[in-house]
Structure 1
Amino acid sequence: MSEAELRECLRDAVADEPPLDFDPDALIERGEHLRKRRRALVAVGVATLALTATVLTLPGVLGGQRSAQVAGPPLITTAESAPSSAVEVPGVTPTGVPGDAAKTARAEVLSSRLRVTFAKFFPRTKVVEIDVKEVEEPAAGQRAAMPMTFGTVVFIDDYGRAELNIAISEQTPMRDPVQFCADTACEKRLPQQDGSTVTFGTIIDEASGRITVTAAHFRRDGVLVQVNAHNFDPAQGTAKATRPGPAADYDQLLLLATDRALTTW
């Protein structure tokens, strides 16, 4: 059968079908745009988290200006996280699956858990997008990159669009509580009742007014969970501040960082 005959047969096969109510080319172009945007968000978020870790481990970088420009004192509790915070998500078993399939399964589980957890701690917001990826972050002082599960939550609150970044990885000698808070680089270290430690810090760019607050939970099982909130849109790169303060306070960062539903396998 020639190509012309094949085309004619295909036309006849769909002759009775109703016309499409959308432009396939436009749909494909939109899909490509969304994929590129997700890749950009992950790249920017990883860079932000890497910058946070670098700044917080440099002695005296933040100096005395750290907390003065963050609106309101943090409300922090030393209560142990409730065991019921772990969320069971049926239908996906991340263990025992080889290669990329395992990464996809883990990302799906964490995405579902993050959606439930975020709704619990941020009830007055509307989630726009949750994206979870397994990436490799260049680790300072190490030759090999550090595997990391990176999540982005894009949401709408009273001030408009906002974004949270969550990174889950294993602790390393360069990322332990002592090194993380060396020489007053951290604002606060908060011991937990289970023997783990949560650290808090703030990064301020005075030129642009951008502020990033971070909480890092160094768990006893060797897992490090770091949560970042901003007063700007990280996807815009050099954008200036878009809200009076970061999109989450220390209480909310603490709840997210210590939630046992967010973990590795």
Structure 2
Amino acid sequence: MSEEDVRGGLLDAVADEPPLRFDPDELVATARRQVRRRSLVAVGLATVAVAVAAVAVPVALGRDTTTTQVAQQPTRSAPSPSTAPSVAQWPPPGVEPAYYTVDDLRQRGHEMSKHLRGALPATLSSASKFAYGEFGGEAEGAFYPEQTSINAAFSFTIDGARYSLVITSWVPGTSRSPAETCVANCHRLDDRAGGALYEQTEDIGEGVIETVFHYRDTGAMVSVTAYNYDMTSSSPTYHQGIPLAMEQLLSLATDPELEL
């Protein structure tokens, strides 16, 4: 049916009626405008739907497209990972593996133990009843030629429960790289104190073990490992978690007095 047929039909239908100020041409024009308007609205809604989908997809994948950043303080249970990659080269360029004699290691172990008798209570302010282990190698207080690290275990009480820490210090240029050491549930933290920091948490049955590694620009590496039990006990009691803040572990791991 053509527009002329529509116009003629409308005129015939109202021929015997009083005039209603009705213009068929205006009706057709109005109808065209309404159809065009609906088409534009439909296109607009489709465009909005595509735009919303474009925003929703990255959000659903875990990528926030907003530019607002909220500062986060690192905590033990939810470390703040950095987007920086792993240390590209370890040891750092120009660092050659150092050599420490047995006497060198024993002397540094004594010095570090003395330092920690003041540093541990100051850092772990809520802890008491400290038990200070001696630095050594395969055994407490034992050293051997060409040894490349020393470690010591420390136990303490918080809220009536016993926990422990192990502090290990490597001779510059002798520790394994972050890619070899921090492999399971590992996060890189914001660098500080002249080196890269990593955090790793392990669940081993009832045991929870958290380690902070500080890879220093000097080629040395210090790690602090916290346990949810007293690992020096022959029959340890496992607790729900480790009652230490991330900042406490970072303070110990970056302590310059614990570097070989």
Query: Shorter-chain TM-score: which interval?
Result: 0.5 to 0.7
Q: How many residues are treated as equivalent by the alignment?
A: 164
Give the letter for the 2:204 counterpart: D
5+ residue gaps, structure 1:
1-70, 79-97, 138-143
After TM superposition, the structure 1 = structure 2 runs for residues 54-65 of structure 1, keeping only pairs within 5 Å, are none
Give the letter for the 1:110 counterpart: M
| Runs of 4+ displaced beyond 6 Å | none
The match for 1:221 is: 218
Cα distance in 2 between the residues matched to 1:107 and 1:230 = 22
Give the letter for the 1:256 counterpart: L
SS of residue in 1 equivalent to 2:213: strand
After TM superposition, the structure 1 = structure 2 runs for residues 2-41 of structure 1, keeping only pairs within 5 Å, are none
Cα distance in 1 between the residues matched to 2:246 and 2:193 = 20
Q: Note if contact 1:133-1:149 (Cα within 8 Å) is conserved in structure 2.
A: yes
Cα distance in 2 between the residues matched to 1:177 and 1:72 = 20
The match for 1:8 is: none
Cα distance in 1 between the residues matched to 2:103 and 2:242 = 35
Cα distance in 1 between the residues matched to 2:209 and 2:124 = 18
Identity fraction in percent: 22
The match for 1:177 is: 178
Equivalent of residue 245 in structure 1, options 241, 247, 253 = 241
Q: Note if contact 2:154-2:164 (Cα within 8 Å) is conserved in structure 1.
A: yes
Q: Note if contact 2:148-2:174 (Cα within 8 Å) is conserved in structure 1.
A: no
The match for 2:110 is: 108
Give the direction of change, closer, same or farther, for the CA distance of 1:201–1:159 in structure 2 (3 Å limit).
farther
Cα distance in 2 between the residues matched to 1:134 and 1:99 = 13
Cα distance in 2 between the residues matched to 1:186 and 1:171 = 26
Give the direction of change, closer, same or farther, for the CA distance of 1:199–1:161 in structure 2 (3 Å limit).
same
Cα distance in 2 between the residues matched to 1:218 and 1:249 = 20
Residue 248 of structure 1: how far off its partner (Å)? 2.5
After TM superposition, the structure 1 = structure 2 runs for residues 120-159 of structure 1, keeping only pairs within 5 Å, are 120-136=122-138, 146-159=147-160
CA RMSD of aligned residues (A): 3.2
Cα distance in 1 between the residues matched to 2:189 and 2:115 = 25
Equivalent of residue 234 in structure 1, options 231, 240, 244 = 231
Cα offsets for 1:10-61 (capped at 9, x unmatched): xxxxxxxxxxxxxxxxxxxxxxxxxxxxxxxxxxxxxxxxxxxxxxxxxxxx
Q: Note if contact 1:75-1:251 (Cα within 8 Å) is conserved in structure 2.
A: no
SS of residue in 1 equivalent to 2:164: strand
Residue 122 of structure 1: how far off its partner (Å)? 0.7
Give the letter for the 2:165 counterpart: L
